[in-house]
Structures are given as structure tokens and as C-alpha cells.
């Protein structure tokens, strides 16, 4: 008798628990909704006044400062260009180095070596981005200034895209290398043996069998690394500058989308004003850009996992 009574109580507790846990899980969907809705609602005020076309394709961004004629401009492309410039430099650093490290760890390294290198990479990945920003501004830029660099007759400025990009590349290396390495380690050993049995060298096995087989996973690591670079805030805010400028010259100062948001957040634009709402508009654009890349990256990872 006692048992059945407890059973009934148990099942009540059980279903309560179920719904509690389910609610926690559903919170994640609510969060995504929340992000989209809150960004949209706050930027609706912005898009009521500024046509979306002008926003997305305008090349002049000065929502605070008026120009000589007393006009403000709301074309976001300079911010986008600045973001992509820094992210591209970062990718140019992180992709080759990250992939090389991954190949080394997956195909060449002994266990002891792997056990030493992987923690180092984890340390690199765990350093807060303000620290990288500090490093870019106080070390990398002065060192670069010692080199006579000149592009289009411009010298390297104190705030520039190159320093930020280089240090951001360092920051992203662990992400590229660990994802690529996972992809390569998932390739079955039997394929490597087949290649060795045909007289291939270790490099040939890596280059012609493993990397092609792990390709979608490797590409995913590039995409996700690039997405991380685009969303990064403190590094670019500290080191790349606060000058929205549509340029491909890495020696110049630029302003990234994330840096602009920080600038406005620390500023004194009143709530609900047009200037204030620009941060939500830019944030919305940033969200969709990274979302697109992350979806693509995860899709590739999943497809790769299904093959093996």
C-alpha cells in the first residue's frame, strides 16, 4: 500500500520535473526569439526614418556628426568594410597557421607532443579579448611603426586595421586548428594505411587523402573562425580606431561595427533617439551576418560527421 501511494506522488513529481527541465531547454529558443525581437523592435524606430536601402548601401556613416551642410549620414558600409577588413587580415593569419598546426597535430605529432601543444592552444583561446586589444595597441602597433610601411602614400597610424587584424589572427588560431584537427582525426586510419601501402610519403597521405576527406570540416573551421573575427568587439575597439572609413588600406584607422556599438553605448545619445537606435540597427545586421556564417559552418560540420 505504501508503495502505490509513493508511486503516485512520484509520478506527480516526475511530470513536474519533466516540464521544469523542458522549460529550461525551451528557454534557448526563447532567447533567440528575444534577440531578434528586441533588436528589431528597437531598430524599427530607426528604419522608420532611414530607408533600409540607404542604410545597407550608403558609404557614408556619420550619425552623430553633421557634415558641412548640416546633414547626418546613415550608410553602414564603412562599418561593414572596417569589420571585414580586420577579419580578413585575421583570417589570412589564422587559416594557414591554424591548418598547419592541425595537420601537424593530426598526422605527425606523438602523444607527448600533442599533450604539450594542445594546452598552449587552449590558453591562447582563453585569454580575454581586452588583453589582445592591449597587446595590439601597446606592442604590435609600435613595432609595426618601426618598419617603413607605406600604402598609397599613407603611413601606419596609431589606430589601424593591420595591428588589430594580426592580433585577432593570433586569437583565432586555436579555433581553426582545433576544429580542423577534429575533422582530420575523424578520418579513419584505414584510409591512411591504404595510401601508405601504395608508397605514399607522410605529407602525401596528409595532403592527398586526409585533408580532402576532412575538407568540409576544415572549411567549417574557416567559416566559424571568420565569424568569430567579425563579432569580436574589444580588440577592434581598442586597436583599430573610431573612424568610420570605407577603405581597403590596412594601415588606416577604421571603425568596426562592434566598435561603433561600444562607442555609442558609452556615449550620451538619449534613449529612443535616432542616434541611439543606430546601435540596434547595426547590431541586427551583425547578428544576421554571423548567424548566416554560423549556420553554414555547423551545416558543414554535421554533414562531415555523417560521412564518418
**Between residues 107 and 252, which has the closer beta carbon with respect to other proteins?**
107
**Between residues 151 and 204, which has the closer beta carbon with respect to other proteins?**
204
Residue 35 binds other proteins, judged by CB under 8 A: yes
Residues from 104 through 123 that contact other proteins (CB under 8 A): 104, 108, 110, 117, 120-121, 123
From the CB of residue 168, how many other CB atoms can be counted at a distance below 10 Å? 29
Q: Under 8 Å CB-to-CB from 58, ≥6 apart: which residues?
A: 73, 74, 75, 76, 77
246 within 8 A of 220, measured Cβ to Cβ:
no
Minimum CB separation from other proteins for residue 220, in Å? 12
Residues from 210 through 249 that contact other proteins (CB under 8 A): 212-213, 224, 227-228, 230-234, 237-238
Minimum CB separation from other proteins for residue 50, in Å? 18
Minimum CB separation from other proteins for residue 177, in Å? 8
Residue 200 binds other proteins, judged by CB under 8 A: yes
**Between residues 85 and 279, which has the closer beta carbon with respect to other proteins?**
279
Residues from 169 through 198 that contact other proteins (CB under 8 A): 170, 173-174, 188, 190-191, 193-198
Q: Under 8 Å CB-to-CB from 274, ≥6 apart: which residues?
A: 45, 46, 49, 50, 63
Residue 164: half-sphere exposure toward Cβ, Cα within 13 Å = 35
**Between residues 193 and 248, which has the closer beta carbon with respect to other proteins?**
193
Q: Are strands 73-74 and 61-62 parallel, antiparallel or unpaired?
A: antiparallel
For residue 75, give Cα distances in angstroms to 50, 230, 280.
9, 19, 14
Residues from 38 through 67 that contact other proteins (CB under 8 A): 38-39, 41-42
Please identify, among the stretches 49-57, 64-72, 144-152, 295-303, the one whose residues bind other proteins according to the rule CB under 8 A.
295-303
Minimum CB separation from other proteins for residue 90, in Å? 13
Residues from 1 through 20 that contact other proteins (CB under 8 A): 10-11, 13-14, 17-18, 20
Residues paired with 151 in a beta bridge: 154
Q: How many residues bind other proteins (CB under 8 A)?
A: 100
Buried b (16+ CB within 10 A) or exposed e, 178-192: bbbbbbbebbeeeeb
d(CA 60, CA 77): 7
Please identify, among the stretches 22-30, 50-58, 59-67, 71-79, the one whose residues bind other proteins according to the rule CB under 8 A.
22-30
**Between residues 67 and 201, which has the closer beta carbon with respect to other proteins?**
201
Minimum CB separation from other proteins for residue 132, in Å? 8
DSSP-derived letter for residue 151 is B
Residues from 126 through 165 that contact other proteins (CB under 8 A): 126-135, 137-139
Q: Under 8 Å CB-to-CB from 122, ≥6 apart: which residues?
A: 174
Residue 92 binds other proteins, judged by CB under 8 A: no
Give kind and range of the element (H or E) at residue 236: helix 234-239
Amino acid at each position: 500500500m505504501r508503495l502505490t501511494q509513493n508511486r503516485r506522488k512520484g509520478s506527480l513529481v516526475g511530470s513536474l520535473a519533466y516540464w521544469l527541465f523542458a522549460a529550461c531547454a525551451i528557454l534557448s529558443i526563447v532567447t533567440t526569439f528575444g534577440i531578434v525581437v528586441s533588436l528589431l523592435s528597437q531598430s524599427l524606430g530607426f528604419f522608420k526614418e532611414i530607408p533600409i536601402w540607404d542604410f545597407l548601401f550608403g558609404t557614408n556613416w556619420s550619425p552623430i556628426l553633421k557634415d558641412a551642410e548640416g546633414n547626418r549620414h546613415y550608410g553602414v558600409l564603412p562599418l561593414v568594410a572596417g569589420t571585414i577588413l580586420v577579419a580578413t587580415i585575421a583570417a589570412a593569419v589564422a587559416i594557414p597557421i591554424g591548418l598547419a598546426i592541425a595537420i601537424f597535430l593530426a598526422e605527425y605529432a606523438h602523444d607527448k607532443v600533442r599533450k604539450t601543444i594542445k594546452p598552449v592552444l587552449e590558453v591562447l583561446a582563453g585569454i580575454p579579448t581586452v588583453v589582445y586589444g592591449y597587446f595590439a595597441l601597446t606592442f604590435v602597433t609600435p613595432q609595426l611603426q618601426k618598419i617603413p610601411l607605406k600604402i598609397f602614400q599613407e603611413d601606419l597610424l596609431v589606430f589601424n586595421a593591420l595591428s588589430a587584424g594580426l592580433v585577432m589572427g593570433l586569437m583565432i588560431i586555436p579555433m581553426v586548428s582545433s576544429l580542423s584537427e577534429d575533422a582530420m582525426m575523424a578520418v579513419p586510419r584505414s584510409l591512411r594505411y591504404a595510401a601508405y601501402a601504395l608508397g605514399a610519403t607522410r605529407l602525401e597521405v596528409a595532403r592527398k587523402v586526409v585533408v580532402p576527406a576532412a575538407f568540409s570540416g576544415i572549411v567549417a573551421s574557416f567559416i566559424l573562425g571568420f565569424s568569430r573575427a567579425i563579432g569580436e568587439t574589444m580588440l577592434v575597439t581598442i586597436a583599430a580606431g573610431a573612424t568610420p572609413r570605407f577603405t581597403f588600406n590596412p594601415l588606416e584607422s577604421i571603425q568596426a561595427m562592434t566598435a561603433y556599438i561600444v562607442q555609442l553605448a558609452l556615449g550620451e545619445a538619449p534613449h529612443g533617439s535616432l542616434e541611439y537606435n543606430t546601435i540596434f540597427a547595426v547590431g541586427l545586421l551583425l547578428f544576421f551576418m554571423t548567424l548566416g556564417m554560423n549556420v553554414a559552418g555547423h551545416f558543414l560540420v554535421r554533414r562531415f560527421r555523417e560521412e564518418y
